Chain A
Amino acid sequence: MGQREGAAGLTTHAPQAAQAVTLPASLDEAVAALAAMPAAVPVAGGTDLMASVNSGQLRPAALVGLGRISEIRGWQYQDGHALLGAGLTHARMGRPDFAALIPALAAAARAAGPPQIRNAGTLGGNIASASPTGDALPVLAALEATLIIAGPGGARREIPVSHLLAGMEMLRGGELIGYVRVPLLHAPQVFLKATGRTGPGRAIASVALVLDPARRGVRCAVGAIAPMPLRPLDAEQWVASLIDWDNNRAIVPEALNAFGEYVAAACIPDPAPAEDGSVQQLPPAVLHLRRTVAALARRALGRALS
């Protein structure tokens, strides 16, 4: 393929314009390396970054490789939460031991592209790229995850993931996503993704839904239909009130359907009526997207409560 050929071609010719690559072994070293070379770009799995390089959209003057920072390639427990290293690969997150902790994130990781991508792509990269179709993002939004950002001089600060994705708070120069703190809810979680095909593909729409039995809450996020995951808060509260939390989390079947419609209408609202007051129809493609979101949300809740 084009990429391989391009790379092979380069190696047969004059050395490329001197490109600095540093491979720090710790988070603080990486931050220091970024501070020393403000033009440097951090790279983890490279599944998005290298595609931009190959297509000529990005020509980084220097790279800081994050692949050798072992402290961010695993996870640890921290008072009821899991502290996930930003360097966790999708392949690692998809494994059964991880799935037992955070099932929805594991499902999203398994759905995130073909094995080659999952072996390289990382959790932190998924967040930093903040692509609308990033599969981990709706799960992190539903889990209300917190990012732990490493800054110069060993500084650490915390940002809710939704703040970063919405652009309310940004990474500053020289900062890196170090860890992601996720609550351990010990309850069913679901991630569902519609791609329109059977093979790996980008989401047309995705839904992450987690139950929080301690707080008697349902949290849901819809991915891929907007620049950031959307949280239908009213629908969450409404449906949580219908669940019989003490009786095996029972719910009337009609509520599943209504929840789906509620979520879909919240994320893809009806168009405003025209000036003459007549009802406007959504375009067919948008209508289909809304139906897709409704079906995903209904199925997700059904599976979480079954």
Chain B
Amino acid sequence: MSNDTATATTAEPGTAPEPLPHGLGVSLPSAEARAKTEGTFPYAADLWAEGLLWAAVLRSPHPHARILSIDTTHAREMPGVRAVITHEDVPGAALHGRGRADRPVFASEVVRHHGEPIAAVAADHPDTARMAAAAVIVEYETLDPVTDPEQAFEAEPLHPDGNLIRHIPLRHGDPDAAGEIVVEGLYRIGRQDPAPIGAEAGLAVPRPDGGVELYVASTDPHADRDTAAACYGLEPERVKVVVTGVPGATADREDQSFQLALGLLAMKTGCPVKLTATREESFLGHAHRHPTLLRYRHHADSDGKLVKVEAQILLDAGAYADTSSEALAAAVSFACGPYVVPNAFIEGWAVRTNNPPSGHVRGEGAMQVCAAYEAQMDKLAKKLGVDPAELRLQNAMATGDVLPTGQTVTCPAPVAELLQAVQDFPLPALPKDTPEDEWLLPGGPEGAGEPGAVRRGVGYALGMVHMLGAEGADEVSTATVKVHDGIATVLCAAVETGQGFTTLARQIVQETLGIEEVHVASVDTDQPPAGPSCRGRHTWVSGGAVERAAKMVRTQLLQPLAHKFGMSTELLQITDGKITSYDGVLSTTVTEAMDGKELWATAQCRPHPTEPLDGTGQGDAFVGLAFCAVRAVVDVDIELGSVRVVEMALAQDVGRVLNPAQLASRIEAGVTQGIGVALTENLRTARGLVRHPDLTGYSLPTALDTPDIRIVKLVEERDVVAPFGAKAVSAVPVVTSPAAVASAVRAATGRPVNRLPIRPQAAVVTATQ
């Protein structure tokens, strides 16, 4: 804190608490930070109810099999077992799914992926429940799994409506256009697991009216409630989803089938039922990033100007559609990246396989294509013999340019400025120039790194992502602001997943109402819906709704005063709980003006509508776009192929900084997640079976893997259609960072690097290479 004491003049000396910064643009700390640090913050796994039962789920050991019979007799007869349920016990809709209802609550005739739920048990002890689940006898006829997405087109349909979930043949411009310089490439992106730090857990409590309450770490409570109600055959009003503390989410975090099983068991037994998934179950059940196969051909003229991009993009959706359709739309629409490309011909497919399910993971679709188009830009620069950064600069998109979907970019798109900023930022010192500093070699502090074998590389990447749901999704959020006794409360069903929405909501109310003490109520489905916590939605739609509600309260509060003094409410201002007029004539406190009343207002925010992509991939499908530029500096041990990212310098288009510390932490988190995609994170399968579904086999970046992250520039060009002019910040660093790391490894080794994560053998330089 500074020595500025002006804000504390009214308080008595000695009793004044240190005033916290408040309002927009300051680094207000999260209200939950302390409890989370001390371990007292309640997450779903910490819940407990009197007389609760424990649930366990039986999952398929096969990726593809026909179920011949399910015998639950032994499991039911075990002492302590209270209920065993299978597909026969689902009273309502048998199928559910976020994008399309194609996923059974419990597999009935076939299993389509390793770990698909088949039965669930409630028992009086977790061990009993697990043993009973293991005692359910399932007779399988194993089938040949479809594990290669390229084979999915020809393979036997895994689902009644076939293996092709969506095909987008985007056509934009002149198909006969051709450039003098042509580069081609084939790229593969692995399967990232969102790996939230807390696995799925929840508690279901039956209600006397035959309904049920689900206490879960949902990121989209209303959608989860609607799904649950449909599967239970109940009216939505009889199912209530109460959102507990969310232990990490980078998108749709939960395997929904476990929530559904939990409620069914609670209703069947009449007792509260709790389930905590193991890490293995979590890896098997929830949605992963789409493994993607991309084939590209870039045409440019001899000056380096892009002429045409042709691409084929194949997303492996796994067994069920989930949000693959949206991921494909993003992949196809952003297939050329933030570059001016007059002619684009992009074919995209999302197909079903027997691999682990794919779905919404931050930056889905956009991340995979970014790795490919940036690899193409590197290739093109090499062929043209120009600097890769200069080539990018030459082709960078700006406001007013047209996307391959025909949509004109109307929002700020300071792409060239971002790239220039990271390019101009000084490079980190070379170890030979700073001999007194400890040099962390690739391979780590006790690794085998040898300075003589280390090469340094610098790579650039530009990325873009859309914000909010696309293609006509009804993006809306509702928020209520209440003021009583000098304290404001926000009620909004936007889930705090760690992204910082509650902090932002407090700042918005502080800014609008001048009230410092703002609380954000916990979320349940009795509140009006706010939609899912993803795609940077809540900063925009829920933040917008909170602002409108706060403004309505402000008007209610000031209107009588303004009327009394014959001035408009705009001439009054509220700061630190005091209302003053522009000329200083009026001066009163908020508490006085309220006169013991409670003020409530509810408002909605609904951005302008979008339209679906048509048969040739054309349409104004996106509300807003965000851009970023990353420069990666890596050290590669060219004999062992180990890579250490030394520094990531990033410049981002953020519209407006609402909370500097929170924004920086979001960017750092995004870059780190991107480094995981680039170097280590890949949930591997063998013939559809997940290998190593644990955090030993699946390597998340640790502090040692994480480089210095330099936020070089935040371009604050306000997006006029967004509330506060602010853009979502979390996704675009994830999208862009992997491509930048790959580019830097290319620069260090001269190897093509066309697969992510980068395997050590792809970064080795031998005499023949």
Contact B704 A195, beta carbon cutoff 8 Å: no
> B620 near A: Cβ within 8 Å?
no
Contact A295 B446, beta carbon cutoff 8 Å: no
Contact A202 B696, beta carbon cutoff 8 Å: yes
Using Cβ atoms and an 8 Å threshold, which residues of chain A touch B453? 295
Contact A6 B278, beta carbon cutoff 8 Å: yes
Given the complex of chains A and B, what is the CA–CA distance between A285 and B130 in angstroms? 38
Given the complex of chains A and B, what is the CA–CA distance between A161 and B642 in angstroms? 31
> A198 near B: Cβ within 8 Å?
yes
Which one of A107, A207, A288 lies within 8 Å of B446 (CB-CB)? A107
Contact B444 A195, beta carbon cutoff 8 Å: yes
* B-contact 0/1 string along A33-72, CB 8 Å cutoff: 0000000000000000000001110010000000000000
* A-contact 0/1 string along B437-458, CB 8 Å cutoff: 0001011111110100100000
Asked, given contacts A8-B45, A14-B125, A199-B703, whether A193 binds B448 with beta carbons under 8 Å apart, the answer is yes
Given the complex of chains A and B, what is the CA–CA distance between A9 and B279 in angstroms? 15
* A-contact 0/1 string along B23-47, CB 8 Å cutoff: 0000000000000000000010110
Contact B126 A10, beta carbon cutoff 8 Å: yes
Q: Whole-angstrom distance from the CB of B29 to the nearest CB of chain A?
A: 25
> B639 near A: Cβ within 8 Å?
yes
* A residues 151-189 in Cβ contact with B at 8 Å: none
Query: How many A-B contacts if CB must be within 8 Å?
Result: 128
> A194 near B: Cβ within 8 Å?
yes
Contact A196 B642, beta carbon cutoff 8 Å: yes
Contact B446 A110, beta carbon cutoff 8 Å: yes
Contact A2 B282, beta carbon cutoff 8 Å: yes
Which one of A17, A55, A198, A284 lies within 8 Å of B443 (CB-CB)? A198
Contact B448 A114, beta carbon cutoff 8 Å: no
Q: Which of B342-350, B598-606, B760-768 contacts A (4 or more CB under 8 A)?
A: B760-768
* A-contact 0/1 string along B189-202, CB 8 Å cutoff: 00000000111010
> B117 near A: Cβ within 8 Å?
no
Given the complex of chains A and B, what is the CA–CA distance between A110 and B440 in angstroms? 15
> B632 near A: Cβ within 8 Å?
no
Asked, given contacts A9-B45, A198-B705, whether A288 binds B276 with beta carbons under 8 Å apart, the answer is no
Using Cβ atoms and an 8 Å threshold, which residues of chain B touch A6? 126, 276, 278
* A-contact 0/1 string along B261-272, CB 8 Å cutoff: 000000000000
Contact B761 A285, beta carbon cutoff 8 Å: yes
Which one of B126, B277, B640 lies within 8 Å of A295 (CB-CB)? B640
Contact B760 A5, beta carbon cutoff 8 Å: no
Contact B274 A9, beta carbon cutoff 8 Å: yes
Using Cβ atoms and an 8 Å threshold, which residues of chain A touch B696? 202
Q: Whole-angstrom distance from the CB of B678 to the nearest CB of chain A?
A: 11
> B673 near A: Cβ within 8 Å?
no
> B315 near A: Cβ within 8 Å?
no
Contact A200 B444, beta carbon cutoff 8 Å: yes
> B376 near A: Cβ within 8 Å?
no
* A residues 91-113 in Cβ contact with B at 8 Å: 107, 110-111
Q: Whole-angstrom distance from the CB of A48 to the nearest CB of chain B?
A: 10
> B536 near A: Cβ within 8 Å?
no
Given the complex of chains A and B, what is the CA–CA distance between A199 and B705 in angstroms? 5
Q: Whole-angstrom distance from the CB of B442 to the nearest CB of chain A?
A: 6
Contact A2 B761, beta carbon cutoff 8 Å: no
Using Cβ atoms and an 8 Å threshold, which residues of chain A touch B642? 194-198
Contact A197 B448, beta carbon cutoff 8 Å: no
Given the complex of chains A and B, what is the CA–CA distance between A14 and B442 in angstroms? 49
Q: Which residue of A lies closest to B695 (CB)?
A: A1
> A301 near B: Cβ within 8 Å?
no
> B102 near A: Cβ within 8 Å?
no
* A-contact 0/1 string along B678-690, CB 8 Å cutoff: 0110000000000
> B641 near A: Cβ within 8 Å?
yes
Given the complex of chains A and B, what is the CA–CA distance between A6 and B198 in angstroms? 11
| Beyond A54-B278, A197-B443, A295-B640, 9 extra complex contacts between A and B, CB < 8 Å | A5-B199, A8-B45, A9-B45, A14-B124, A193-B446, A199-B703, A292-B641, A292-B760, A296-B640
10 contacts between A and B (CB under 8 A): A1-B198, A1-B199, A9-B45, A14-B125, A55-B694, A193-B443, A193-B446, A196-B760, A200-B704, A299-B450
